[in-house]
Structure 1
Amino acid sequence: MKLKVCGMKFTENIQQVAAMQPDYLGFIFYEKSKRNFEGIIPELPKSIKKTGVFVNEYKEIVISLVEEYGLNAIQLHGDETVEYIKALKCQFERSRELKIEENKNIKKKKNQHKIPKNEVEIIKVFGIKDEFNIDVLKPYLEVVDYFLFDTKGKERGGNGTKFDWSVLEKYPFKKPFFLSGGIGLEDLDSVKKILDSDLPIYALDVNSKFESEPGIKKIEELEKFKNNVITNGVK
């Protein structure tokens, strides 16, 4: 089971969370978000996948930020279509090819920003409240690496509330997904229950329930959650 900590914002806090070795750290590039990220991402362990969160963003801006920050994954939190994702993947590939060609002709500079050597993972978010039409997922099965199911609410994310997880009992696909939406320490029992199911849950995504204020994560609570759920199983 993987762990993603989303909504990272401040350098010292990023370093503290990174020391816990989560699998993914999420950086939100959306001006309307209270956790909108601007600045420099400190050096992180290579095992951590830097994930950029975007909402209906221009493809050129997504590509630019992937290159600037060396993002390993992108999380699409808006109304992005299958055609949008296909076009984005084509641009990733073109950018990667250009960088390979450039590196043949010039000596690599230390810390040179570039599209990562491995393909950028694509995570498509779908909001759920009390019900969900599973059929909307079918067109995306071939173009994304993972789905992420979050709570549909006033904000695009970070609402701090859970949706009815029983909706996912009818999930018919093998495509793995991230489970998100208001997950906190008080949910250990319900997390254990859903993880014991046959659902292809790839990762748990946590955010606002572990904050003292938007963008600042509570390290001790995150450590407890990680140790109980990810490392040792729920206690």
Structure 2
Amino acid sequence: MKLKICGMKYPENILEVSELLPDYMGFIFWEKSSRFFDGTMPDLPKSIQKVGVFVDATLDEIILKIKKYNLNLIQLHGKESVSFCLDLKTEIKNLKQNQIEIIKVFSILDDFDFSILNDYETVCNYFLFDTKGKLPGGNGTVFDWNVLKKYPSKKPFFLSGGIGIEEIASVKQLLKTNLPIHSIDINSKFEIEPGLKNMQLLKDFKINIK
């Protein structure tokens, strides 16, 4: 199980958090987000994969950020179509950089039609499931994980949506199942303010979840 810390914003805090060596760090490139990142990217340990989070951005916007910040993964958090994902996949190949992977996000509340995933199977590397709310992410609440019992795919996914210290026991139970959980994705429950992470809470979570 890997760990993704998302919604990073402030360079000094980014460096602090990088000392914990999470597998992924997420940077939100959606201007309406209170965690919108448009700053200077500090040098991170090579083991940390940088995830760019986009909401219905254009291909040009995404490619620009990939080049500017040397992103390793692209997280599509809007209503991106299968054809858009395919076009992005093609554009990424044309860059001839290191392999860049695509995460497609789907939001869940009490139920979910998993047949929606079928057409996305070949155009993304991972799925991400978070909680359906007013905003595309960052709603700070947990969806009903029982819904995942119906997950029909073998494609690995990120588990997101309001996960905090209180969810450690539940996360551990979920990890004992046969679900292909690739990474736990944490954000708002570990903040002093939007984008500024609480180091002690992150340390406690990492120690206890491992």
Shorter-chain-normalised TM-score: which range? over 0.9
Which residue number in structure 1 is paired with residue 16 of structure 2?
16
1:125 aligned onto 2:117: no
Which residue number in structure 1 is paired with residue 78 of structure 2?
78
Which residue number in structure 2 is paired with residue 112 of structure 1?
none
**CA–CA distance in structure 1, aligned partners of residues 75 and 154 of structure 2:** 19
**CA–CA distance in structure 1, aligned partners of residues 39 and 192 of structure 2:** 21
**CA–CA distance in structure 1, aligned partners of residues 151 and 79 of structure 2:** 21
Which residue number in structure 1 is paired with residue 167 of structure 2?
187
Runs (4 or more) in structure 1 with deviation over 4 Å come to none
**CA–CA distance in structure 1, aligned partners of residues 205 and 55 of structure 2:** 28
**CA–CA distance in structure 2, aligned partners of residues 84 and 63 of structure 1:** 13
1:166 aligned onto 2:146: yes
Matched letter for residue 136 of structure 1: I
Which residue number in structure 2 is paired with residue 94 of structure 1?
94
- Of all paired residues, the percent bearing the same amino acid is 56
**CA–CA distance in structure 2, aligned partners of residues 8 and 166 of structure 1:** 29
Greater Rg, structure 1 or structure 2?
1
User: What is the CA-CA distance between 1:146 and the residue it aligns to?
Assistant: 0.4
User: What is the CA-CA distance between 1:95 and the residue it aligns to?
Assistant: 2.4
Q: Which runs of 5+ in 2 are unaligned?
A: none
Q: Which runs of 5+ in 1 are unaligned?
A: 97-116, 231-235
User: What is the CA-CA distance between 1:204 and the residue it aligns to?
Assistant: 0.1
Matched letter for residue 223 of structure 1: K
* Partner residue of 1:143 out of 107, 110, 123: 123
After superposition, what is the alpha-carbon deviation per residue over 1:129-177, rounded to whole angstroms, capped at 9, x for unaligned? 0000000000001111100000000111111100000000010111000
Matched letter for residue 72 of structure 1: N
**What is the Cα-based RMSD across aligned positions, in Å?**
0.7
**CA–CA distance in structure 2, aligned partners of residues 48 and 173 of structure 1:** 27
After superposition, what is the alpha-carbon deviation per residue over 1:27-59, rounded to whole angstroms, capped at 9, x for unaligned? 000011000001111000000001100000010
